[in-house]
Chain A
Amino acid sequence: MKYVEEFRDPEKAQILLHEIDKLVSEIDIAKQRPIAIMEVCGGHTHSIFRYGLEGMLPKEIELVHGPGCPVCVLPMGRVDDCVAIAARPEVIFTTFGDAMRVPGSQKSLLQAKADGADVRMVYSPMDALALARKNPEREVVFFAIGFETTIPSTALTIQQAKAEGVKNFTVFSNHITIVPTIKAILDSPDLQLDGFLGPGHVSMVIGTQPYAFISRHYKKPLVVAGFEPLDVLHSIWMVLKQIREGRAEIENQYARIVPEEGNSPALAALSDVYELREFFEWRGLGSIDHSGVRIRAAYRDFDAEARFAMPNIKIADPKSCQCGEVLKGVIKPWQCKVFGTSCTPEAPLGALMVSSEGACAAYFQYGGIKRREAVS
């Protein structure tokens, strides 16, 4: 596969790993404690596990798997709202596949489907709109989740629905934004991070400017990173290089995809349809100011929150669940009290165990090798 294989070249990996080793040996903090680098995006977490990158890196580097998996940070109350909408007989409830298994306080969408709700898996919001056109007598609701990567496609779909005058299509919007979340993590007192791998596909939309405060205010380096394994190693090398040289800057490793200024048509669609919420509830992290977006009044006809009454009850995370500490990198997944015991991929307590991008599920599915070495 062109444009993919060249970023998986094992020989280049060895060269990079050698350079990374060299840099680590020149960084002083590595002599006291591991250098902690957070990959914000779940896509990176997936690559790291899929290619076994953790086991290839020197033990002085600790990768902290951040909050950038939209499925993982979905609070239970929102899943309950989904289940309530989906249970209405007139509704066809459409969702991305990996949101199907996220546990609500009573049940997941997969269980709701088994109980008779018409829940269908789609691959794009446009598929949901097409369903609405095909089923004019039904109400089609699209369960919109994701960061800036997926917001523009939802926004464009809503614009399209309005232009066509589609009456039976609404969006239950759970879109969230990454920057306030990184800020909340940086403000967390129990956290020690030395640098970030920035989310590649979010940045493709928003550009690199919104991260400027991280270097300016918090004095941490951030490198916007691609998702192939060489991209990830290269970005780690760039973060280490900044640390060694005492710099804290925003750099762009993924320049082949990410323009510094972002994607202006996507941003235009986003701000035409969406506005910031005062706050949004995150699983594990609690309420974060301005971290979610809602559909503007001009598009109210397409807002499921305006069309359907829903329970809208805030459900506290289970007490034993330590998703928040894992998300912030305070503990590793296997240090959670319920990891692998009362929280497993078969019966997930916390959302990090549900999605393949969730740190806990990733450790369950792909992990273990480095972990076992670390424990023994």
Chain B
Amino acid sequence: MNVMPVPRRRNIGRVFVPKVTLAHGGGGKAMKDLVDDVFVSAFDNAALSPLEDQARFSLADLASHGDRLAFTTDSFVVHPLFFPGGDIGKLAVCGTVNDLAVGGARPLYLSCAAIVEEGVEVDLLRRIAASMAEAARDAGIEIVTGDTKVVQRGACDQVFLTTTGIGVIRPELHLGADQARPGDLVLVNGLLGDHGAAILGARGDMALDSTIASDCAPLNGLIDALLAAAPGTRAIRDATRGGVATVLNEMAQASQVSIAIEERKTPLRAEVKAFCEILGLDPLYLANEGKIVAIVPPDEAEAALMSMRAHRYGADAGIIGEVRQGEPGRVSMHTVFGGTRIVDMLVGDQLPRIC
């Protein structure tokens, strides 16, 4: 990509022991070997491989993409590290890419900081790094700088990752949660709650056999297509922790409008519905890692919907509701049964009900 040319390459170190020890965090050769073996070889790119203390970009190149930088960071502490449909590495790349893209930014570069617990298998780290590299390719971004720390057993849960990303926003885009207006329509790009249900299922303490896979995916391509088809789009948010319900509340609050959704139109996988039924959970609050909520003016909604459905990460997209004058900050749902209820923010986690 558009990174300043750096002439020199170095020899890539290798780790020959099966597990990470505190020596790998000591700053000496063992640490260099670990970083090389696991991360540098997986992320291989011109900005990273010289292993300076920082990645360097040309301002002119950045400016060619737009007029504002977008800058974001996120930490990932998921348990288990590997789950159906993804792993902590894919999550760390997609999460930060999506946080940039929902602001209308073109994601360009990511950093990756890893905190590793001693005793973790080096192979596990290699798998995570390979998964990050693949997600980065899918998203069309580069991981250009990073850091690795090793901590004592018990000081973290195997691996924690932090990714920071920068992207550039085109001059004409001004997306914001405070931009929703009465009459706008509310779109989502597919089936809701898959990630939350997949993680709960993968933890295994429910003794439920489930086939639900996480929806974890980089959405910058889909958002590009959406913004091309519906340039008047007011706001986009990714519906991660707290789910669609939380995002809608944030938008209704920021724009001082009410939002009404139709339960009948919320796209849900039959397995996720059943999963929520059994555990007494509400799918609107389940986390997604590949779903956005977009607020689009009514005359562009159809084009927006078609653009999403044409994209591989938007096949099940739908219009789930509309923005109304109503009580500011209020989100309500017309239930399948014909009643209306309020969809509020949750205080903490959703907890399964006892009976």
Instruction: Contact check, A46 vs B353: say whether CB atoms are below 8 A apart.
Output: yes
Instruction: Contact check, A368 vs B342: say whether CB atoms are below 8 A apart.
Output: yes
Instruction: Contact check, A43 vs B355: say whether CB atoms are below 8 A apart.
Output: yes
- In the bound complex, residues from chain A placing their C-beta under 8 Å from that of B341 are 49-52, 55, 366-367, 369
Q: Which residues 337-376 of A have a CB within 8 angstroms of B?
A: 345-346, 355-357, 364-369
Instruction: Contact check, B342 vs A365: say whether CB atoms are below 8 A apart.
Output: yes
Digit string of A90-107 for contact with B (CB within 8 Å is 1, else 0)? 000000111111000000
B335 contacts partner chain A, Cβ-Cβ < 8 Å = yes
Instruction: Contact check, B337 vs A13: say whether CB atoms are below 8 A apart.
Output: yes
- In the bound complex, residues from chain B placing their C-beta under 8 Å from that of A71 are 354
B352 contacts partner chain A, Cβ-Cβ < 8 Å = yes
B270 contacts partner chain A, Cβ-Cβ < 8 Å = yes
Interface size class of A (residues with CB under 8 A): 35 or more
Digit string of B337-355 for contact with A (CB within 8 Å is 1, else 0)? 1111110101110011111
Q: Which residues 307-355 of B have a CB within 8 angstroms of A?
A: 332, 335-342, 344, 346-348, 351-355
| Max count, chain A CB within 10 A of own CB: residue among B332, B337, B351 | B337
Residue from B337, B340, B342 within 8 A of A229 (CB atoms): B337
| Max count, chain A CB within 10 A of own CB: residue among B207, B351, B352 | B351
A53 contacts partner chain B, Cβ-Cβ < 8 Å = yes
Instruction: Contact check, B355 vs A55: say whether CB atoms are below 8 A apart.
Output: no
B138 contacts partner chain A, Cβ-Cβ < 8 Å = no
Instruction: Contact check, A366 vs B338: say whether CB atoms are below 8 A apart.
Output: no
Instruction: Contact check, B277 vs A1: say whether CB atoms are below 8 A apart.
Output: yes
Q: How far apart are the CA atoms of A110 and B273 in the complex, in Å?
A: 28
B53 contacts partner chain A, Cβ-Cβ < 8 Å = no
Residue from A43, A52, A121, A146 within 8 A of B340 (CB atoms): A52
Given contacts A46-B353, A123-B352, A149-B355, contact A367 B340 (CB under 8 A): no
- In the bound complex, residues from chain B placing their C-beta under 8 Å from that of A335 are none
Given contacts A97-B352, A146-B354, A365-B344, contact A52 B335 (CB under 8 A): yes
Instruction: Contact check, B274 vs A10: say whether CB atoms are below 8 A apart.
Output: no
- A147–chain B nearest beta-carbon distance, Å: 8
Q: Which residues 186-214 of B have a CB within 8 angstroms of A?
A: 205-207
- B277–chain A nearest beta-carbon distance, Å: 6
Residue from B342, B347, B353 within 8 A of A369 (CB atoms): B342
Instruction: Contact check, A96 vs B340: say whether CB atoms are below 8 A apart.
Output: no
Q: How far apart are the CA atoms of A49 and B333 in the complex, in Å?
A: 11
Q: How far apart are the CA atoms of A50 and B336 in the complex, in Å?
A: 10
- In the bound complex, residues from chain A placing their C-beta under 8 Å from that of B336 are 8, 10, 51
- In the bound complex, residues from chain B placing their C-beta under 8 Å from that of A52 are 335, 337-341
- In the bound complex, residues from chain B placing their C-beta under 8 Å from that of A366 are 341-342, 344
- B340–chain A nearest beta-carbon distance, Å: 5
Q: How far apart are the CA atoms of A357 and B352 in the complex, in Å?
A: 11
Residue from A101, A123, A145, A201 within 8 A of B348 (CB atoms): A101
Given contacts A366-B341, A369-B342, contact A1 B273 (CB under 8 A): yes
| Max count, chain B CB within 10 A of own CB: residue among A52, A146, A356, A369 | A52
- B53–chain A nearest beta-carbon distance, Å: 37
Given contacts A4-B277, A101-B348, A364-B344, contact A10 B338 (CB under 8 A): yes
Digit string of B261-275 for contact with A (CB within 8 Å is 1, else 0)? 000000000100110
Q: How far apart are the CA atoms of A110 and B354 in the complex, in Å?
A: 17
- A158–chain B nearest beta-carbon distance, Å: 18
Name the prevailing secondary structure of the B interface residues. Answer: loop
A127 contacts partner chain B, Cβ-Cβ < 8 Å = yes
- In the bound complex, residues from chain A placing their C-beta under 8 Å from that of B354 are 70-71, 96-99, 145-146, 150
Cβ-closest chain B residue relative to A365: B344
Q: How far apart are the CA atoms of A54 and B341 in the complex, in Å?
A: 9
- In the bound complex, residues from chain B placing their C-beta under 8 Å from that of A1 are 270, 273-274, 277
A336 contacts partner chain B, Cβ-Cβ < 8 Å = no
- B166–chain A nearest beta-carbon distance, Å: 35
- In the bound complex, residues from chain A placing their C-beta under 8 Å from that of B352 are 96-98, 123
Given contacts A98-B351, A100-B351, contact A55 B277 (CB under 8 A): no
Interface size class of B (residues with CB under 8 A): 20 to 34
| Max count, chain A CB within 10 A of own CB: residue among B274, B342, B355 | B355
Q: How far apart are the CA atoms of A96 and B205 in the complex, in Å?
A: 12
Q: Which residues 262-305 of B have a CB within 8 angstroms of A?
A: 270, 273-274, 277, 280, 282
- In the bound complex, residues from chain A placing their C-beta under 8 Å from that of B332 are 369
Q: How far apart are the CA atoms of A226 and B274 in the complex, in Å?
A: 18
Cβ-closest chain A residue relative to B339: A52
Instruction: Contact check, B277 vs A53: say whether CB atoms are below 8 A apart.
Output: no
Digit string of A31-59 for contact with B (CB within 8 Å is 1, else 0)? 00000000000010010011111111000
- B326–chain A nearest beta-carbon distance, Å: 11
- In the bound complex, residues from chain A placing their C-beta under 8 Å from that of B280 are 46, 356
Instruction: Contact check, B339 vs A123: say whether CB atoms are below 8 A apart.
Output: no
Q: How far apart are the CA atoms of A364 and B274 in the complex, in Å?
A: 25
- In the bound complex, residues from chain B placing their C-beta under 8 Å from that of A368 are 342
A135 contacts partner chain B, Cβ-Cβ < 8 Å = no
Q: How far apart are the CA atoms of A121 and B353 in the complex, in Å?
A: 12
Q: How far apart are the CA atoms of A369 and B335 in the complex, in Å?
A: 13
Q: Which residues 226-279 of B have a CB within 8 angstroms of A?
A: 270, 273-274, 277
- In the bound complex, residues from chain A placing their C-beta under 8 Å from that of B335 are 50-52
Cβ-closest chain A residue relative to B332: A369
- In the bound complex, residues from chain B placing their C-beta under 8 Å from that of A229 are 337, 339
Cβ-closest chain A residue relative to B338: A10
Instruction: Contact check, A98 vs B342: say whether CB atoms are below 8 A apart.
Output: no
- In the bound complex, residues from chain A placing their C-beta under 8 Å from that of B207 are 123, 127
A23 contacts partner chain B, Cβ-Cβ < 8 Å = no
Can you report 27 A-B residue pairs in the complex whose CB atoms are below 8 A from each other?
A1-B270, A1-B277, A4-B277, A8-B337, A10-B338, A14-B338, A43-B353, A46-B353, A50-B335, A51-B341, A52-B338, A53-B339, A54-B339, A56-B339, A71-B354, A98-B354, A99-B354, A123-B205, A123-B206, A123-B352, A150-B355, A230-B337, A356-B351, A366-B344, A368-B342, A369-B340, A369-B341
A residues touching B (Cβ–Cβ < 8 Å)?
Answer: 1, 4, 8, 10, 13-14, 43, 46, 49-56, 70-71, 96-101, 110, 121-123, 127, 145-147, 149-150, 201, 229-230, 345-346, 355-357, 364-369
Given A51-B339, A52-B340, A70-B355, 6 other A-B residues pairs in contact with their CB atoms under 8 A? A13-B338, A53-B337, A122-B205, A123-B205, A127-B205, A201-B355
> Shortest 8 CB-CB distances between A and B: which pairs?
A52-B339, A97-B351, A52-B341, A51-B337, A10-B338, A345-B347, A96-B354, A149-B355
